[in-house]
Amino acid sequence: MGATNEKEMTLEGGFMMPHANSFGHTFRNYDAESERQEGVENFYRRNHIYQTVDFVRKMREEYGKLKRVEMSIWECCELLNEVVDESDPDLDEPQIEHLLQTAEAIRKDYPNEDWLHLAGLIHDLGKVLLLPIFGGLPQWAVVGDTYPVGCRFDESIVHHKYFMENSDYNNPAYNTKYGIYSEKCGLNNVLMSWGHDDYMYLVAKENKTTLPSAALFIIRYHSFYALHREGAYEHLMNDEDVENLKWLNIFNKYDLYSKSKVRVDVEKVKPYYLSLIEKYFPAKLKW
């Protein structure tokens, strides 16, 4: 099972590498550079050691203040895009193409679910956390699989063995099946390992989006492979989560599948997405 997850990580990691690269050069961030070279396994080693309840609470508090930037959703798409433009021209397509590929593929099959198209467009915007103006977080705190903290780490999580070095691993308050949670408490009451998913969820929620809860669910849990691929942590889900998970399963097919070479004419589809943004978000958001 872990091997499958690792494959996804390679996809995701491959996608992000241009960022690590350009930052490594521009800002002489030797930590990020060495991290990039260590590969997927070391990425997860760091991730599993440092993602603790304390760490997640601190990040949610810090980034929940939304005091860094004010910009529109589309401006954020472009911001994420610029990062890739700075790097080697031989590298992957710009992020905005992945966002639009996902959104357009969903739109083709689900023409009436406009909220799902918009979820496709914005689901990865939280990757701006890699940018210096957002604190330039390391890869392990931005991308990769996510999972709950505050209860036992499920064995289906990729590279589970590294959790033994996590300080929560031997904490009796955090290492039981329920930990700090209770049966069917609802995933929105569960602390997730910190990354671009939870950050974008916070941004959308705090800026009072009118997107349905299924869209917020997709944004927050799209990297939660232990749940949507392995069926772990179902005991924490409430009835609404069960309903929303159906949409997440649909979404995930497009998210992975769309990392392809199908080009999207950004200028052609932009008016449609601007109209969706206007429908579901304020003109300017706090980030």
The CB-of-30 to Fe ion minimum distance in angstroms stands at 26
Give the E-state strand segments of 20-174 in sequence order: 70-71
Pick from 35, 104, 241, 255: which binds Fe ion (CB under 5 A)?
Answer: 255
- The answer to whether 41 is annotated as binding is no
Q: 183 with 111: CB under 8 angstroms?
A: no
Among 107-115, 155-163, 230-238, 251-259, the segment contacting Fe ion (CB under 5 A): 251-259
Question: Known binder of ligand: residue 124?
Answer: yes
- Contact call for residue 124 and Fe ion (CB under 5 A): yes
Q: Tell me how many helices (H) and strands (E) the chain has.
A: 11, 2
CB nearer to Fe ion: give 36 or 181.
36
In this structure, the number of other CB atoms found within 10 A of the CB of residue 67 comes to 10
Please tell me whether 265 is known to bind a ligand.
no
Q: Write down the least CB distance from residue 151 to Fe ion, Å.
A: 23
67 labelled binding-site residue: no
238 is written with which tokens? 């409430």
**Residue 254's closest CA among 204, 218, 210?**
218
Strand partners, 285: 71
Give the C-alpha separation, 142 to 140, whole Å. Answer: 6
85 is in an annotated binding site: yes
According to the binding rule CB under 5 A, does residue 35 interact with Fe ion? no
- Residue 145 is labelled as binding a ligand: yes
Least Å distance, CB 244 to Fe ion, is: 17
Question: Which structure tokens are listed for 186?
Answer: 């609802």
Q: How deeply is 101 buried, as exposed, middle or buried, from its count of CB atoms within 10 A (0-12, 13-18, 19+)?
A: buried
CA distance 26 to 22: 6
Give the residues across from 34 on adjacent strands. Answer: none
Which residue's CB is nearer to Fe ion, number 121 or number 191?
121
- Least CB distance from residue 220 to Fe ion, whole Å? 11
Cα separation, 51 vs 148, whole angstroms:
10
CB 50 within 8 A of CB 77: no
Minimum separation from the CB atom of position 178 to Fe ion (A): 28
CB of 218 to Fe ion, least distance (A): 10
Q: Are 233 and 156 in contact (CB under 8 A)?
A: no
Q: Quick one: 152 or 229, whose CB is closer to Fe ion?
A: 229
- Is residue 98 part of an annotated ligand binding site? yes
Q: What is the Cα–Cα distance from 35 to 169, expressed in whole angstroms?
A: 24
Q: Is residue 255 part of an annotated ligand binding site? A: yes
Contact window for Fe ion (CB under 5 A) among 17-25, 44-52, 86-94, 255-263:
255-263
Region binding Fe ion by CB under 5 A among candidate stretches 59-67, 124-132, 153-161, 213-221: 124-132
| C-alpha to C-alpha distances, 205 to 39, 282, 283, 286, nearest whole angstrom | 33, 12, 15, 11
Instruction: Confirm or deny that 127 is annotated as ligand binding.
Output: yes
Site membership for Fe ion, residue 8 (CB under 5 A): no
In angstroms, give the least distance from the CB of 271 to Fe ion.
23
> Which residues form the interface with Fe ion (CB under 5 A)?
124, 255
Binding-site residue numbers for Fe cation are 98, 123-124, 196, 222, 255
Binding-site residue numbers for substrate are 28, 85-87, 127, 144-145, 222-223
